[in-house]
Structures are given as C-alpha cells and as structure tokens.
Amino acid sequence: MTGLTKKWEHPFFRFISGFVAMLAMAYVLYFPFWLTGRSFHRYYQVYFIAVAILVVGGLFLWRKQWIVAVRRDVRGAISYVKAHPMVILFVVIVGWEIWRVVTYTQLHYSDDDTYIPLVNDILTSDQFFRVNFVDGRMLSGGYSLDMKYMLAGWFQFQALLCRFSGLHPLIMIKTCLPIAVILLHYSVVWNLCRAFSGTEESDGLLTFMLVYAVLTEAAWGQLSTSWSYYFLTWAWYGKAFLQLIVLPFLLFVLLDFCGKKLGDWLLIAMVAIAGLAASTMGFLLIPAELGLFLLACLVSYVIRQRRICV
Amino acid sequence: MIKEIQLLHDTIWSSPLLLAMFVLSVGYLLYRYLHHEEGDNIRRVLIYVALTIVLVCMNPVLAYLAMRFTGDEYVFVRFMWVLPAFALIAYAAMKFALSFNGKARTVVIAGICLLAFLSGELWPDVYKKADNLYKLDSDMIAACDIVREDAATSENANVYGHVSVCLQLPNNNIYLDGSDANIFYFGVRQYAPEFELSYAVVNEDNYDDPEFSYEGYLTNSSQYAICLDKKALDREYQRIGYERIGCAGPYAVYKNHFRFTLFVVRHAQTNGNVAGRVVGAPDSNWGVVTEEGEAKAIELGKALQSANIARSYSSPAERAILTAELVLQGGDQDVTNQTNEALSDIHWGDAEGMNWDEIAAQYGDVSVQAIFGSMEAQEYTGPIPGTDNLFDYMSYITSGVNGVVTDSAVAGLEDRQVLLVTHSAFHWWLERNLPGEAVPPGLDNTSLTILQYDCGQWEAVTINNTDYDTIPDIISGLQ
C-alpha cells in the first residue's frame, strides 16, 4: 500500500474522509469561538465560508479527477452488482436498518434528555452552552455546564448541520444523521476488510459485508457498551460516531499507513481530531488505539525483524 | 477485579456463542497466517487484538483504576470498542467461505449467517413505532404548537425569545428513563427549546377528585400550562388565574391571564446593617431595626399612600414584619401583614453576626459566590458551615413568591397591588426573573422595587428605588 494517493482510490474513501474532515474542521474552529465567547451564528458563518472555499477550491483544482472518479465509481458499482447479484441481500439488510431508523424510535430517551437540548439551546440562544439544558433558562453568570459537554464537538457540529439544513434538530439528529451514520459505517468496514486482506481484490467482500451486517443486526448486546447497541438504538450519539466510524476508520488508515507522505500524517491527525470531537470518550479511546497499534507494529517488527512500513 | 472482568463479559458479549465465534475467528486467522495464507496486515491486526485484550480490555488493573477514577464502570467497558470484533469475525468467515466452491460455499455462508443470527436478537425490545419524524408524541407536539402560536401572536416572549411553560406531571421522576414524567418533560424540552420549563406534580388519583384543590400542587408561576385534560385540573387551573386556550389529544393548554403589581421592599435599617455585620434568617440583636430605619419605613409608607395595597406579605423575621407594619401604617393602608416561612432570608450559618473582616479571618478571603455557590449548583457546600446554598435559597424564595402570586389570583386581586417585605438576598430572585434588567448585587434598606406581573411574566417598573419623591409619580403611571 502506498499511502494517501492509493487510499483516495478506495471506494467510499472520499465520502468518509469528507464527512470526518467536516467534523474535525468544525471542532478546530469551535475552540477560538467558544473561548472568546463569540456567538454561534458567527461560528456558523466562518465554518461554512471555510467549507465553501475548500469545496469550491477542491472541485476547481481536481475537477477532472473528480469527474473521472465519479464515473468510475458509478460504473464500478453497476458492474459489481451485475457480477454479484447477491449484493441485493446486503442492500436489503441495510435498507431494513434505515427503514427502522426512520419509522421507529426508542422506548425511552436516555441521554437524549441532555444531548438534544444542548443542540437546541446552541441554536436558540446563539451561544455555546449558556443555557441550562434541564429547564431551558439562561445560566447564571458564575455557573458553567459540565466541561465534558464543552470539550466535545459533536453538539456544535449537529447544530451546524441543523442550521445549514433548516431542519428541526430532532428531525436532523434522530432521522437524517442516523441514515448517514449507517451508510458511512458500512463504507468504513468495507474499506477495513480490504485493509485486512491487504489486496485490492473484491472476492469475498460481499460475504464479509453480509456476515458483518447480520452480526450488527442480530448480535445485540444488552447494554450500551456492546458493539451493536449504538448502531441499533442511538446512532446519533457522538459515542456512536466514534465507535462506528472513527475507530474503525482510524484502524483502516493505520493499516494503510506508510509515513512517507505528509498527507498520511494529516489524515491520521484529522481522524484523531474527529474522534476527540465526537465524544469525550475519544480522549481515552483515540490515544488507546494509536498506542496499541504502535505497540503492535513494534511487536510485529521484532517478530519479522524488518521495517514497519510494508 | 473478578467483578470487573465479569462486568466486561456480561456487557460486551450478547451471548457465549458470539464470544465463541470471535475466539474461533482469531484462531482461524492465526492458523492461516502461520500457514502463510495471510499477509502482513493480518499479522499486525492479530497482534493488535492480542495486545488490546491483554493490556486494555481484560486488564483488571486498568479496570480497577478506570472505575475508581471515573466513577462510571461503563467508561472502562467502552475500551472494548477499539477491538474490531465484528470485522474480524466477518473477515474470518469470508476467508473460510472462500475456501469452498460452488454450492458448498453458499451453504457455508448461510451457516455462518445463521450462527451470527443466533448470537443475539433480531429485534431488540427497545423500539416503538414513531408517530412522526420528530420521534415524539404527536399530541404533545400539537399542545406545544398551541403555545407557540399563541406566544407568537401575543408577543409574550422575554428578551431571550423564551416563554415560561409549566407542565403537569404524574410524579417528579423526570430523570427516570422511560417514566411518564421523563417522556413528557424532556419530550417538550427536545421539541420546544424556547420554552422555559417548570413542572407541577399532581397524582393521578386527584385527576377526577371533586375535592381536589390547587394548594400544594399548582401555582400561578408561568405564562402557559400544559396538563392532562381532566376536570379537577381544569377547574383548579382556572381558579388560579389561567384560561383554557386549546387541547390536543389528552392534553389541555392554558394561558395565564392574571395581572397584578408587587411592591417589593427590603426591610428597614438594622443594627447589623449599621455595624456592617451579616444578618440572615435567624433573628438576633443585630436584626433589630434602628430608629432611622423606622423613620424611613414610615416615609416609604407615605410615598405609597396613593397605592391601593390589597395584601401584605413578609418574611417571618422581626425586622421584616416591623417594616411591613410601618410601611402600611405610614400609608394608612388597612391591611394586615401575613408572614410566610418561604420568604425568609438566606442563612449565613456560623457567620451570622460577623463582619467581613471576621469572616475573612476565619474562613479566608471568600466572595459571596464562594459562600453560597450558583443558582444551578444543587449540591454546593460553601466554606462556612450551616449556610444555605443559593440553589436551596432560590427554591424556597421562588416557592414563596409563587405562593404570593397564586394566593392573589385566587383572592381575585386582578390589577391590584400587593406589598412584599423581604431581604437583600431577594436580588438573586430579581436577577433570575428579570432577564436583561440591571439588578444591583443587593437591595438597599427600605428600598422599593415595583414589579408588574403580566400573565406569568415579570416586568420591573423601578428597582431598588430609595428616592421616595419619585414614587407617587411612578404609582400614578402604573397601568
């Protein structure tokens, strides 16, 4: 594997990295606005100007590559479906999950009590975390919300999405975002499977995705820490984004890591920042995953007595 | 530490079958790697998995430390998320299936999918059909929309664009996931962020009780109220100054129509005030009103002569009672003062009667906020033993004022004036209920604050006014 250029060609990589980059960028921009007490609407303006510049600039600079890539993706998808008609089974399972997300809800709210009002209050107060999420009153001057809410970037990012789309936070967060999370999750594990095998061959990918989807759907742990729980119940949580997208995507990036290109380092930094943004659990899990992988590489190196870079 | 490992197993693996599939998958991939059928990435992944299990996920020392320092056992269990368990099982399954051809491969894939299927539940018992894309009760949304529409047309919002809404709940378990109170209270909170919420608890047994009375249950304290559409509640809400403006399914929506004027007076000057000593709820020699204080109270009463005071309330402190009586006497108001424990001053605990130098000498250079905390800090304990925290003070003073408003509404004092004699600490109540107003960090002795209660919303006419010459003009200008 040869780094970022090669990754760019992977199916869905551009979509995953684009979404993760949006979150990481929102997080980096958030801190100066929060610490200087600026309003949310100013943050929103600066964020979307930055995003627009990057998107328009990127499209302008790499327009030919984009067109080629999109054509190749569409053709590739069509030919893959023709060659593997059983992919319909996988699509049915994912469709089932999306249908459930849209038409069903959970029996009780759990942390929604806190998380949805936090997003709501950013939008309605135009300030970062100056409203008591329990009763909706403005907080008194000497009081701050728990630091863990302010350190995470997920609520601000959700508020940006709501403001941009014009949708009520409940619709954006409980219906639209879970659909995106489900699709992104399968895109990530699709790439992870390729990284495991270390080849570009697609033989067996469908089997992988089918078994994975059945496991996700059926191997349901009873408590909020199991692998399926957030996927099936609260896909809009920052923890879900961390667990379902950032952590496996980081593993994929690390497995393909070469270290010779600046882009690879930036990509790891971006994914790590997105992990911190998604949930304060990221402050524990991102360093843990990075440290464990580095250790694994060292052990692997000792075993094989050769360079880490493959 | 056995407990931590047990917890880890119970919470992560939905079944022993899933655990077995994972172990078999890792073993199968290891076998393939040792037989040179897998590449370097799988080698690194297998080492990563082994290290993750040994050093993190099944590390009793880390489990103990994480649980001890975070106080949340699930924080540690979430370390399991760095293990790509499903991906490894699916990858091993893929490789196993690929070692077969034709129909045999199909059968193997079906068998593995069946095993995965049997390792948990297909339809966890956590779902219910959603009424709408908001994922909330449609009737509750409709009730909120009635409030929204009315607030928009009558321009009732405060400076933050908020309106106050009181929800009637069957109990106060608003933090108990899945309880009726939780679903209703936080459902409204999620749907309508511009509502400043409070709640009233009325037990279900009272819904149709002809003897049910608002006292102890309902207060006139918000612009709107949403409650279950029940006869007893309807009667009592109307009794305390609300009118019904609509209903949605099982919910009825009420709007506050009660208006009156509240004259808030801080008690007259005391010995403690002269000596610069803090005096709180308990009566003491420092709380005795001075002659100058008495004169000022009578002077204020005269300034209020043109007012038509219908009732008078004060805290039970002697200085407040005396001040109320002198004000009423000075203004020739034929009203008897009533005391209410909930209108008491804040407690200064062991610092009662001390001056600030003595407080600093004994407890350090502490600010008022350090002593009492913030309005939202429910568990706050300050450095001085025996003090109230501000959260508790706000709870009882709010209940006291709500009682004054409700009593006035029930007594039919629409557009009348009520006297309330209280303490300097009342400035916190003013801060909270007059958003956008400049409230001083303490009220002056015998100062007058005139508040108009407009259908659930407080508006200040004058705050902490000690220029008594201006008061007659202000009163004549009251609506």
Tens digit of each residue's pLDDT (9 = 90 or more) over B323-344: 999 999 999 989 999 999 999 9
Radius of gyration of chain B (CA): 32
| Confidence tier at A2 by pLDDT (50, 70, 90) | very low
Q: Which tokens go with A74?
A: 């569409």
The confidence score (pLDDT) of residue B478 equals 83
The confidence score (pLDDT) of residue B5 equals 65
Q: Residue A142 pLDDT > 90, yes or no?
A: no
The confidence score (pLDDT) of residue B380 equals 93
Long-range contacts made by residues B331-334, C-beta under 8 angstroms, separation at least 24?
A: B331/B301, B331/B302, B331/B303, B331/B304, B331/B305, B331/B307, B332/B305, B333/B301, B333/B304, B333/B307, B333/B309, B333/B419
Q: Residue A25 pLDDT > 70, yes or no?
A: yes
Is-contact B22 B88, C-beta < 8 A?
yes
Residue A277 identity (one-letter amino acid)? A
| Confidence tier at A65 by pLDDT (50, 70, 90) | confident
The confidence score (pLDDT) of residue A309 equals 47
* Helix pair B102-118, B16-34: axis angle to 10 deg: 140
Give CA–CA dist B150/B245, Å, rounded: 9
Instruction: Give the CA dihedral A23, A205, B113, B48, nearest 10 degrees.
Output: -60
The pLDDT tens digits for B194-229 are 999 999 999 888 888 889 999 989 999 999 999 999
Interface contact A113-B95, CB threshold 8 A: no
Strands B448-454 and B309-314: unpaired
Residue A100 identity (one-letter amino acid)? R
The answer to which of A141-145, A186-190, A225-229 has the lowest mean pLDDT is: A225-229
Is-contact B270 B287, C-beta < 8 A?
yes
Give CA–CA dist B448/B420, Å, rounded: 10
Give CA–CA dist B234/B216, Å, rounded: 16
B34 lies within 8 A of chain A by CB: no
Distance from the Cα of A279 to chain B's closest Cα (Å) equals: 12
Higher pLDDT, A7 or B195: B195
Q: Which tokens go with B347?
A: 């407690």
SS3 A169: helix
Residue A292 CA, distance from chain mean position: 21
SS3 B417: strand
Give CA–CA dist B422/A128, Å, rounded: 35
The confidence score (pLDDT) of residue A251 equals 95
Interface contact A175-B133, CB threshold 8 A: yes
Average pLDDT over residues B342-369: 92
Residues of chain A in contact with residue B162, where contact means CB-CB under 8 angstroms, are 136-137
Q: What is the DSSP letter of B345?
A: P
- How far the first Cα of chain A sits from its last, in Å, is 7
Average pLDDT over residues A275-288: 94
On average, the pLDDT of chain A sits at: 88
The confidence score (pLDDT) of residue A308 equals 47
Residues of chain A in contact with residue B77, where contact means CB-CB under 8 angstroms, are 223, 225
Q: Residue B127 pLDDT > 70, yes or no?
A: yes
Closest CA to B57 of B18, B3, B9: B9
Is-contact B222 B198, C-beta < 8 A?
yes
The confidence score (pLDDT) of residue A8 equals 65
Residue B459 CA, distance from chain mean position: 22
Average pLDDT over residues A149-166: 95
Give CA–CA dist B441/B447, Å, rounded: 13
The answer to which of A30-34, B118-122, B454-458, B470-474 has the lowest mean pLDDT is: B118-122
Percent of chain A as helix, strand, coil, to the nearest 5? 70, 0, 25
H helix intervals, B345-389: 356-363, 368-372
The confidence score (pLDDT) of residue A203 equals 67
Distance from the Cα of A67 to chain B's closest Cα (Å) equals: 32
Q: Residue A277 pLDDT > 80, yes or no?
A: yes
Give CA–CA dist A291/A279, Å, rounded: 19
The confidence score (pLDDT) of residue B430 equals 96
Distance from the Cα of A101 to chain B's closest Cα (Å) equals: 10
H helix intervals, B258-290: 271-275
Q: Give the chain A residue whose CA is nearest to the CA of B196.
A: A136
Residues of chain A in contact with residue B48, where contact means CB-CB under 8 angstroms, are 251, 292-293, 296
Instruction: Tokens 């990221």: give the residue.
Output: A282
Q: Using CB atoms within 10 Å of the CB of residue B354, give its burial: 0 to 12 exposed, 13 to 18 middle, 19+ buried.
A: buried
The confidence score (pLDDT) of residue B2 equals 67
Residue B70 identity (one-letter amino acid)? T
In the beta sheet, which residues pair with residue B270?
Answer: B289
Please state, in angstroms and as integers, the Cα–Cα distance from residue B139 to each residue in A102, B7, B146, B157, following that order. 19, 41, 11, 23
Q: Which tokens go with B395?
A: 């709870």
Average pLDDT over residues A98-117: 90
The confidence score (pLDDT) of residue A1 equals 34
Q: Residue A37 pLDDT > 80, yes or no?
A: yes
Average pLDDT over residues A257-262: 76
Q: Structure pTM?
A: 0.90
The confidence score (pLDDT) of residue A223 equals 61
Residue length, chain B? 479
The confidence score (pLDDT) of residue B1 equals 60
Q: Give the chain A residue whose CA is nearest to the CA of B121.
A: A218
Q: Give the chain B residue whose CA is nearest to the CA of A133.
A: B189
The pLDDT tens digits for B372-386 are 999 999 999 999 999
Is-contact B445 B273, C-beta < 8 A?
yes
Average pLDDT over residues A174-197: 92
Q: B 332-391 residues with CB below 8 A of A?
A: 369, 374-377
Residue A22 identity (one-letter amino acid)? M
On average, the pLDDT of chain B sits at: 91
Give CA–CA dist B47/A298, Å, rounded: 10
Average pLDDT over residues B309-318: 95
In the beta sheet, which residues pair with residue B313?
Answer: B338, B420
Distance from the Cα of B479 to chain A's closest Cα (Å) equals: 28
The confidence score (pLDDT) of residue A221 equals 66
Beta strands in B51-146 (DSSP E): 127-129
The confidence score (pLDDT) of residue B14 equals 66
Q: Which of B12, B113, B431 sits opposite A214 (nearest CB)?
A: B113
Q: What is the DSSP letter of B17?
A: H
Residues of chain A in contact with residue B53, where contact means CB-CB under 8 angstroms, are none
The pLDDT tens digits for B255-305 are 999 999 999 999 999 999 999 998 887 778 888 999 999 999 999 999 999
Is-contact A122 A156, C-beta < 8 A?
yes
Percent of chain B as helix, strand, coil, to the nearest 5? 50, 15, 35
Instruction: Tokens 């003073």: give the residue.
Output: B397
| Confidence tier at A306 by pLDDT (50, 70, 90) | low
Closest CA to A106 of A216, A225, A231: A231
The pLDDT tens digits for A192-221 are 998 888 765 666 888 999 999 999 888 776
Q: B 160-189 residues with CB below 8 A of A?
A: 160-162, 175, 177-178, 182-183, 186-187, 189
Is-contact A103 B166, C-beta < 8 A?
no
Beta strands in A112-191 (DSSP E): none
Give CA–CA dist A102/A119, Å, rounded: 20
Average pLDDT over residues B437-451: 94
Instruction: Tokens 């659990």: give the residue.
Output: A281
B40 lies within 8 A of chain A by CB: yes
Q: Which of B77, B121, B177 sits opposite A109 (nearest CB)?
A: B177
